[in-house]
A and B are shown apart, each in its own frame.
Chain A
Amino acid sequence: MIHLKYVLKEIVTEKKDIFLSVLFGYLAGMTAIVLFGASGYLVSKAALAPPLYTLAFLIAGVKLMGFFRALSRYGERYFSHRATFTMLSNIRASFFQKLEPLAPRIFQKYRSGDLLARIVGDVESLQNFFLRVLYPPILLILVFLSTIFFVVFYSWWIAVLLFIGLILTGLIIPAWFTIRQKKMESRIREARAELSTEATELLYGFLDLKIYQKLKGKEAQLTNASEAYIFEQELEGKTAMFNHAINSMASFTVSWLVLTVGAFLVTEGQLDGVFLAMLVMISLTMFENATPMAVLPDHLEDNRRAAERLYSVVEESEAETGSSSSKKIPNKQALAIEFEKVSYTFPEERHPAIQDVSFHLPAGSKTAIVGPSGSGKSTLLQLLLGISDPDKGEIYVGDSEIIHISKEDLWSKTNVVLQENHFFYGTIRENLLIADNSLTDETMNSVLNKVELQQFSLDDQVLEKAENFSGGEKQRLAIARAMLKGERLWLLDEPASSIDALTEKYIYAHLLHQAQNDTLVLISHRLTGLEKMDQIIIMEQGKMIEAGTYKELMDKKSYFYHMKQIEKDVLM
């Protein structure tokens, strides 16, 4: 239940619409009762041959009521649905807003198809929370109490009967359904999420599924998931139908009792026979408001689960991002970087990824970090970006220790190229504008030239995950994006690993030219072209084993020199 309070909070913001829908709903409910009651009275009265004008007056009144009812019903529906769907839209947006700080860690816990199911399906099901859970009881009580108050003037007995009907359909039957519902343990939300998750994996992993001929198996798995989901839906549908039937039987029975008791009272002379038809008509109409109570327990349970699934994901966000580091680093300034005895071990790993690493990168210097894969190069970068915090030691960017710097601020002032860079479905232009929204086509085109992508136009389509670009092209796009960002700190993780050496050389020349006064860190697996670097740091098994300029290292004929010799033989 706790999670539904978030939903409640969202509903409350739509006060005005909610007030209007209750108002119109009440009017519609009451006018309907008056309408049918009056017509029952009318026909009975007519049988007694009264003067014509009274009838004419009554008929006109009834017609007016009819129009009024139809309009109120429209108003009720319009406002209640507008409130509901505005609320859903807000929930989606705020869910994403809370989800965003959790990246990238969230992906180690949830699968993207599952998250999609939550933000689409679970949110969608919350539309029932106002429409079918909160609203019907409010209306039911208002309409019933008003009607019973009116009926008291004609017969106490019948008023009491109607009140019993209210308790029965509004309280006892829903309570019974709640207990039944609890026992059934509907898995509809989970079944939907599973289908969504597996469908997403089918689409993302399509190539590998095809190569390994697992598409048939996946298809079977998805068919099962779909059938399980449909089974749950069917069960839910049947339960709803059953509940409806029970509820209307109860309502019918109460109306029948009204007729029976009324008939008895008339024969006993305690009730004027002219009111008999009216009271029964009122009863029948009034119970229409009790119909939604039949499915309330189902929806409540469903919404409770949906809210739980939704908010349990982002609740952790509030817990995890508790530490607020708000310091900012100076604008447009090349900064020095300092590592002091930094160690870091990944969770669930035995050995430290980084051990006791210290180095100093002066402002405006160019540094290359080299070493075999798994030596901790990328981890250094992660630490430098504040994605992970060191277990031991300190990292300084400029004058501030990194744990005190606002990550958003740090990232906004860094040009980053990662090993894997994401591109969005859209055009090249849209993907480059991410760097800076105010870029002109001219600037973007000139940078595309610099990264040797002049054959592409800014309007060229980028498919999902840039599947229509080769590995090297993607890397060049990522470099272009970083160059366009134009900040003074560069962090590049193997930015050109899939680019052939000729192109790489050309791009690096542009890159170093643009970054000539900036601080730059380049992680590289290739040892060529490092002559221009101010410093080369060599990592192995999480430790820094050497550092120096190209010339120093080559002259020392140390580890770097040997690596260089081997590379000549191995790589091209």
Chain B
Amino acid sequence: MTDLKAIAKQQKIERVMLAIIAVLTGTMVIGQAYLFVSVVDSIFLQGLSFSDVLPSLAGLLVVMIVRAALTYWSGRTGVKMAAKVKADFRRSLLRKFTRNPIQASFKGQSGQKVSVMLDAVDEIDSYFSQYVPQVIQSSIVPLMIIGTAFYFHTPTGVIMLITAPFIPVFMAIIGMKTKDKSEEKMEEMAAFSGKFLDILQGLTTLKLFGEAGRQQEKIRTSSIRFRDATMEVLKLAFVSSLTLEFISMLSIGIIALEVGLRLIVFENISFFTAFFVLVLAPEFYTALKDLGSAFHTGRGSMGAADKITKELEEKENTVEWGEQDFSMSEPPSISLKDISFRYQENGFSLEDITVELPANQQIAVVGRSGSGKTTLLYLIAGLIPPEKGRIKVEDKHLYDYVEAAWFQQLSYISQHPYLFAGTIADNIAIGVEKEVTRTDVERAAEQAGISGLLHSLEQGLDTAIGEAGRGLSGGEMQRVALARAFLKNPSIILFDEPTTGLDLETERILQHSIEELAKNSTVITVAHRLHTIKNADKILFLDKGRLIAQGSHQELLINTPAYREMVTAQQGGGA
């Protein structure tokens, strides 16, 4: 879908319209030259009176105005085509970005992706607003001029016919590199965006390390590289038009020489014919030269289109979800069989996880930092598909269910929930399909233990948070996410438990609320609180990507020395 030529071909109506405009323009160009020359000829050589040329003059005015109007019409058509294509491109990119699996969304820099979506798509504009109309114009108008030249004075037509091909040939030779160069330019632009956004996010860190100055230098270098890449593209364009200028100049010279010789030496041509072909010649070559510069911008757009294609063609092993409805009134059981997952070659991996998670139970996942606890939650949530093995929910494969229906029953409270730019109330209500009242939101906030925070804020629930809003601490963010879960009331809860200390009152509220939630759902928690662990029906003990033990707290204490060691250390006792 990203072949610009093919897209242009599809726009049949516009192309026909442009062709009609081109034929009319050609007629106007020739008419303008003819009338102009005939006025000069009548006055200057034939010595006619002023009133004799009035009809020609009137005709000339009309022709000139129509020509300007035609240019407008053609440009307008191009602009419309460009708008349509840009919208299509951006839609495909959006579709791609929103369908990406989680692990693909981590790859690359966000700023780069934003740049592709904005700058690269914008760059396509000129292919349709300039190049396509010009190609049609330039393949019709010069032909009409050549025809006219042949009709009035064959040698001029012959000269035009011989010299004309030089222009597209040179244009193609010089323009060859344009596509690559402008792809490089898009690349630099994207790199700049990526760097800027990343540095922006880390500005506080950089300042604390006294590194802002050096990053400023990086931004400056990146910005200069972008300038240089832009100049590379432009230089090509300038050289191209210089060359085409030379070619057309020489050709017009030859035409003038031939006509001049006939006019003066051989005296076998009229002034009218001589002047007429001399006025037509520049129009002929201008039409071709314009094709040259349009060709250049067109190649530039193709470079940008390639960049977009690369982004679109990046293969991701997306999973297809099924058709099976998932409307659980009861919390489901989940079973994992021989699940393996690896982030990238030689990267961290989870291996051969087999476990039964009975319905309505509380499961705790424990293990040292980096042992794969979060990855396991991702797999169970259906956020990343396993490489091997299968996940069953009740008696069906997880991926047989309708995606939306599954997520509607699931709450995932991650370690770093993202807060969207908006109010606290908006952020709490985000997960819910059904209508919610203000009271519902307030209750969810209270259950999640953030009413204390809300009371201290002047605007309470309506305080703006997220980007361009008030910053929240890690623990506060998690509790906002927890409030989302309370509002949603799901049948499966995945919870990456907060590690930051809560005050005792909040702790008590939370404990109670989570117990409430757990009554009607299967809860799987990456657990740090002893309370969660002790209360868990089953504990999964992970180490270096492997499930080395499962069972209750007591069982693991007795049977698994590594677990015992970890628990004692955590409680501050000498291990």
In the assembled complex, which residues on chain A have CB atoms less than 8 Å from the CB atom of B189?
Answer: 120
Q: Shortest CB–CB separation between residue A41 and chain B, in angstroms?
A: 12
Q: Which residue of B83, B106, B118, B381 contacts A467 across the interface (Cβ within 8 Å)? A: B106
Question: In the complex the two chains form, is A464's CB within 8 Å of B68's CB?
Answer: no
Question: In the complex the two chains form, is A470's CB within 8 Å of B87's CB?
Answer: no
Which of B67, B82, B264 has its CB near the most chain A CB atoms (within 10 A)?
B264
In the assembled complex, which residues on chain A have CB atoms less than 8 Å from the CB atom of B475?
Answer: 373
Question: In the complex the two chains form, is A570's CB within 8 Å of B531's CB?
Answer: yes
Question: In the complex the two chains form, is A85's CB within 8 Å of B230's CB?
Answer: yes
Chain A at the B interface: mostly helix, strand, loop or mixed?
helix
Which of B459, B502, B572 has its CB near the most chain A CB atoms (within 10 A)?
B572
CA distance A213 to B431 in the complex (A): 8
In the assembled complex, which residues on chain B have CB atoms less than 8 Å from the CB atom of A273?
Answer: 43-45
A sample of 18 inter-chain contacts (CB < 8 A) reads A39-B256, A67-B246, A67-B249, A96-B216, A100-B212, A223-B91, A226-B87, A233-B83, A238-B76, A259-B40, A277-B40, A372-B506, A412-B209, A463-B106, A473-B370, A499-B369, A571-B570, A572-B567
Interface assignment of A13: CB less than 8 Å from any CB of chain B: no
| Segment from B6-14, B298-306, B415-423 that makes contact with A | B415-423
| Segment from B169-177, B191-199, B309-317, B334-342 that makes contact with A | B191-199
With A77-B238, A205-B418, A571-B570 known to touch, is A110 a contact of B468 (CB < 8 Å)?
yes
In the assembled complex, which residues on chain A have CB atoms less than 8 Å from the CB atom of B561?
Answer: none
Interface assignment of A420: CB less than 8 Å from any CB of chain B: yes
Question: In the complex the two chains form, is A244's CB within 8 Å of B72's CB?
Answer: yes
Interface string of A68-87 (1 = CB under 8 A from B): 01110110011001100110
Q: Which of B384-413 contact A (CB under 8 A)?
A: 403-404, 407-408, 410-412
CA distance A215 to B40 in the complex (A): 69
Interface assignment of B287: CB less than 8 Å from any CB of chain A: no
Question: In the complex the two chains form, is B502's CB within 8 Å of A111's CB?
Answer: no
Q: Which residue of B45, B75, B197, B530 contacts A571 across the interface (Cβ within 8 Å)? A: B530
| Segment from B19-27, B108-116, B148-156, B159-167 that makes contact with A | B108-116
Question: In the complex the two chains form, is B53's CB within 8 Å of A263's CB?
Answer: yes
Question: In the complex the two chains form, is A219's CB within 8 Å of B95's CB?
Answer: yes
Question: In the complex the two chains form, is A348's CB within 8 Å of B470's CB?
Answer: yes
Q: Which residue of A50, A62, A192 contacts B118 across the interface (Cβ within 8 Å)? A: A192
In the assembled complex, which residues on chain B have CB atoms less than 8 Å from the CB atom of A70?
Answer: 242, 245-246, 249
Interface assignment of A115: CB less than 8 Å from any CB of chain B: yes
Q: Shortest CB–CB separation between residue A36 and chain B, in angstroms?
A: 8
In the assembled complex, which residues on chain B have CB atoms less than 8 Å from the CB atom of A219?
Answer: 94-95, 98
CA distance A350 to B460 in the complex (A): 10
Question: In the complex the two chains form, is B381's CB within 8 Å of A237's CB?
Answer: no
CA distance A93 to B455 in the complex (A): 43
In the assembled complex, which residues on chain A have CB atoms less than 8 Å from the CB atom of B72?
Answer: 241-242, 244-245
Question: In the complex the two chains form, is B227's CB within 8 Å of A419's CB?
Answer: no
Complex: chain A residue closest to B415, CB-CB: A471
With A88-B227, A422-B202, A425-B109 known to touch, is A259 a contact of B39 (CB < 8 Å)?
yes
Question: In the complex the two chains form, is A203's CB within 8 Å of B200's CB?
Answer: no
Q: Which of B27-82 contact A (CB under 8 A)?
A: 36, 39-40, 43-45, 48-50, 53, 57, 60-61, 64-65, 67-69, 71-72, 75-76, 79-80, 82
CA distance A227 to B83 in the complex (A): 9
Interface assignment of A503: CB less than 8 Å from any CB of chain B: yes
In the assembled complex, which residues on chain B have CB atoms less than 8 Å from the CB atom of A42?
Answer: 256, 260
Q: Which residue of B122, B234, B530 contacts A569 across the interface (Cβ within 8 Å)? A: B530
Interface assignment of B507: CB less than 8 Å from any CB of chain A: yes
Question: In the complex the two chains form, is B256's CB within 8 Å of A501's CB?
Answer: no
In the assembled complex, which residues on chain B have CB atoms less than 8 Å from the CB atom of A93?
Answer: 216, 219-220, 223
In the assembled complex, which residues on chain B have CB atoms less than 8 Å from the CB atom of A49?
Answer: 264, 267
CA distance A110 to B467 in the complex (A): 7
In the assembled complex, which residues on chain A have CB atoms less than 8 Å from the CB atom of B565?
Answer: 502
Q: Shortest CB–CB separation between residue A120 and chain B, in angstroms?
A: 6
Question: In the complex the two chains form, is A47's CB within 8 Å of B528's CB?
Answer: no
Q: Which residue of A115, A419, A505 contacts B473 across the interface (Cβ within 8 Å)? A: A419
For the A-B complex with A212-B484, A348-B463, A411-B207 known, give 16 more contacts whose Cβ atoms are closer than 8 Å.
Answer: A43-B275, A47-B263, A78-B235, A89-B224, A120-B196, A210-B383, A241-B76, A245-B68, A256-B60, A348-B459, A350-B456, A373-B503, A411-B210, A464-B106, A500-B570, A566-B504
Q: Which residue of A116, A274, A414, A437 contacts B197 across the interface (Cβ within 8 Å)? A: A116
CA distance A501 to B414 in the complex (A): 21
Interface assignment of B333: CB less than 8 Å from any CB of chain A: no
Interface assignment of B351: CB less than 8 Å from any CB of chain A: no
In the assembled complex, which residues on chain A have CB atoms less than 8 Å from the CB atom of B252?
Answer: 66
Question: In the complex the two chains form, is B468's CB within 8 Å of A111's CB?
Answer: yes
CA distance A357 to B217 in the complex (A): 41
Interface assignment of A360: CB less than 8 Å from any CB of chain B: no
Question: In the complex the two chains form, is A85's CB within 8 Å of B198's CB?
Answer: no
Question: In the complex the two chains form, is A260's CB within 8 Å of B264's CB?
Answer: no
Question: In the complex the two chains form, is B196's CB within 8 Å of A374's CB?
Answer: no
Question: In the complex the two chains form, is A464's CB within 8 Å of B500's CB?
Answer: no
Q: Which residue of B69, B210, B216, B274 contacts A46 across the interface (Cβ within 8 Å)? A: B274
Interface assignment of A429: CB less than 8 Å from any CB of chain B: no
Interface assignment of B139: CB less than 8 Å from any CB of chain A: no
